[in-house]
Structure 1
Amino acid sequence: MQTISPGRWRGLRQTSLDGDVFAILAFDQRGTYRKMLPEGASYERAAEVKAEIVAALSIRASAVLLDNEYGLPSALTLARSSGLLMALEKSGYSGDATYRRIEFLPDWNVGDIRAMGASAVKLLAYYHPETGALAEEIEGVIAGVIRDSHAQGLPVFLEPLCYSLDAAVSKESAAFAELRPPVVIETARRLGALGPDVLKMEFPYDAAYHHNHDEWRAACEAISAASDVPWVLLSAGVDFATFADQARIACQAGASGWLAGRAIWKEAVTMGDADRSRFLQTTALDRMQRLVEVSQQYGRPWTQLYGMPANSPTWYKSAL
């Protein structure tokens, strides 16, 4: 069992439920979110709608993941019981669709995330383990972010997203669906070894093409076996019913919970004010509660993988 620093321990406690499992609401979307809004919606309106959704749903979440572009009002008004994760990366990527690099904002860093009172850093990385020098370059960037975050006492939630290396084969295709499970599992193995505190993983199978729950469970068990760090499942925009099944199977197979967004709240973005409020107080909160129960019933506590720093009169000399 790995011992982590007091700051990282507290950050994980602040972002998890009683029982040390995660039920995190994701709303760090920027470009995708703008496309969901009515054409011509102002910046102020985008931030306002996001804050309304977060205020309504954060009462059920162990934490909320936000962005620095539209997320400040949400961060300042989310439920007192909820932890806060902030995304570090810039939306999108540099390079072309088959050769992707992480892009950062020039005036936004780990120190800023710490200064605003967040509990953890989230880093998204487009990654494919078969890209040779590019994969090594991205691993180096990730390792640097982890070092910087840990130096600030912040845990890192690392979100690797796979992609196709063939421009003629889209990620949503049946052809890539066949390649996806080993790519996701190998990604967990390689990036988990870099020392993130939590991996935020895609479901290993594409539910549009694969429906065998035994195969789903085996692949999720392989993710758990591939890495010594806790992992949570992301929703990737699938419908709620599909994600609920995926989250249950992932947690039964060793995941420590979920970190989900659009599967819970996407309908609310395009609704009028009254319909949105009603949807959030009924359907969306019900979805949150159902997923919280999945984490609580089936999730693997992250404390099975991490230990507290040892106490002594001079603990601070070695634990910080």
Structure 2
Amino acid sequence: MEQYTIKDLARPSGGLAMLAVDQREALRIMMQSATGIKNITDEIVTNFKVSAARILSPYASAVLVDKQFCLDEIVKTKAIAPSSNMIVSSDEFIPGNGIPVDDVRIDTAIDAQEVRAMGGKALKLLVLWREDEDKEKRLAMVADFVKKCHSAGLVSIIEPVVRPPRHSWGFDKEECILKAAKELGDTEADIYKVEMPLGGKGNYQALVDATAKLNDLIKMPWVILSSGVAPDLFPRAVRAAMQSGASGFLAGRAVWSSVIGAPDQEMMLQDLAVPRLKRLSEIVDEAMAAK
């Protein structure tokens, strides 16, 4: 069986310009906030995800989707462009303490061989990192996830996201992003999806320096995510990260969040989100050419 590699998710330049539409209850909350409509149905969420995949995938080297809302419909309608590739989320979100994702485990309902048969080339796992939680448990979950991916010849993508500790007040997010990278950046995973330091704000050289620290700690190809970064700052964040050694991005909100709640979302995806994604992809290509 062929083992897919990072090259199977890349642009011709070798860079990764990947789109995320795997947000779940967080997307429903975004829609409620943007529209004032409390009853955002599963169908509404699914329709947006499928439209985003169909309209934006021609400009993305890969698209990250989820089983809960859109995988089956995206496969059924062939929404992802032939020039792009499919990644499937393999994380089960556990709500608690008033937030949609308080804990995460590997979703046993996601069959890696089935994903491959559907045309998927990679799986993704969110890993919540809290300093006061069991390091060995996290490492074991990542090892199990990587084994699951590689048993089906799929690329494994881990997404460590730091959270405040459960049992104390002290939390330095920037320091924790580095600690998580040190702990999880030397696993057998194929790609590390990391939070952008400093929220992408501040002096450009400070961003380069901060992402260079990540590059020193992460011993695999890495990409940045856009959650927590303003859409207008994300292109600069991608450029800084690429300068420090990143392979690209895997982002959703920076591309399509401002479209949520628009009267004609499909038109806005075309008019606003497509140019944003095209520009981000160009930044990746330019950085790869300069390496």
Scaled to the shorter chain, the TM-score interval is: 0.7 to 0.9
What's the counterpart of residue 236 of structure 1?
227
Q: Distance in 1 between matches of 2:95 and 2:111?
A: 17
What's the counterpart of residue 284 of structure 2?
295
Which amino acid in the other structure matches residue 48 of structure 2?
Answer: V
Give runs of aligned pairs for residues 83-232 of structure 1, distance below 5 A: 83-92=85-94, 101-128=103-130, 130-131=131-132, 134-165=134-165, 169=169, 176=171, 179-207=172-200, 211-232=202-223
What's the counterpart of residue 269 of structure 1?
260
- Per-residue CA deviations over 1:236-270 (Å, capped at 9, x if unaligned) read 14321111111110111110000110111112231
Q: Does the 8 Å contact 1:15/1:22 carry over to 2?
A: yes
Q: Which runs of 5+ in 1 are unaligned?
A: 170-174, 305-320
Deviation at 1:203, TM superposition (A): 0.9
Query: Secondary structure of 1:141's partner?
Result: helix
Deviation at 1:215, TM superposition (A): 2.1
Cα distance change on mapping 1:229 and 1:93 into 2, 3 Å: farther
RMSD, aligned CA: 2.6
Deviation at 1:102, TM superposition (A): 2.3
What's the counterpart of residue 28 of structure 2?
34
Q: Distance in 2 between matches of 1:188 and 1:93?
A: 25
Quick one: percent identity of the two aligned structures?
A: 27
Q: Which runs of 5+ in 2 are unaligned?
A: 32-36
Q: Distance in 1 between matches of 2:173 and 2:279?
A: 28
Deviation at 1:287, TM superposition (A): 0.2
Q: TM-score, normalised by structure 2?
A: 0.88
What's the counterpart of residue 314 of structure 1?
none
Give runs of aligned pairs for residues 6-21 of structure 1, distance below 5 A: 6-9=2-5, 12-21=6-15
Which amino acid in the other structure matches residue 164 of structure 1?
Answer: P
Q: Does the 8 Å contact 1:254/1:299 carry over to 2?
A: no
Deviation at 1:108, TM superposition (A): 2.3
Query: Secondary structure of 1:137's partner?
Result: helix
Moved more, 114-123 or 42-51: 42-51
Cα distance change on mapping 1:246 and 1:85 into 2, 3 Å: same
What's the counterpart of residue 23 of structure 1?
17
Q: Distance in 1 between matches of 2:288 and 2:27?
A: 29
Cα distance change on mapping 1:93 and 1:200 into 2, 3 Å: farther
Deviation at 1:167, TM superposition (A): 6.3
Which of the pair has more CA radius of gyration? 1
Q: How many residues align?
A: 282
Cα distance change on mapping 1:280 and 1:161 into 2, 3 Å: same
Deviation at 1:233, TM superposition (A): 0.5
Deviation at 1:17, TM superposition (A): 0.2
- Per-residue CA deviations over 1:262-283 (Å, capped at 9, x if unaligned) read 11111223122xx322211121
Deviation at 1:106, TM superposition (A): 4.3
Q: TM-score, normalised by structure 1?
A: 0.80
Query: Secondary structure of 1:59's partner?
Result: helix
Q: Does the 8 Å contact 1:23/1:259 carry over to 2?
A: yes
Q: Does the 8 Å contact 2:197/2:211 carry over to 1?
A: yes
- Per-residue CA deviations over 1:208-247 (Å, capped at 9, x if unaligned) read xx51322221110111111220000000143211111111
Cα distance change on mapping 1:6 and 1:188 into 2, 3 Å: farther
Which amino acid in the other structure matches residue 63 of structure 1?
Answer: A
Which amino acid in the other structure matches residue 55 of structure 2?
Answer: A
Deviation at 1:190, TM superposition (A): 1.8
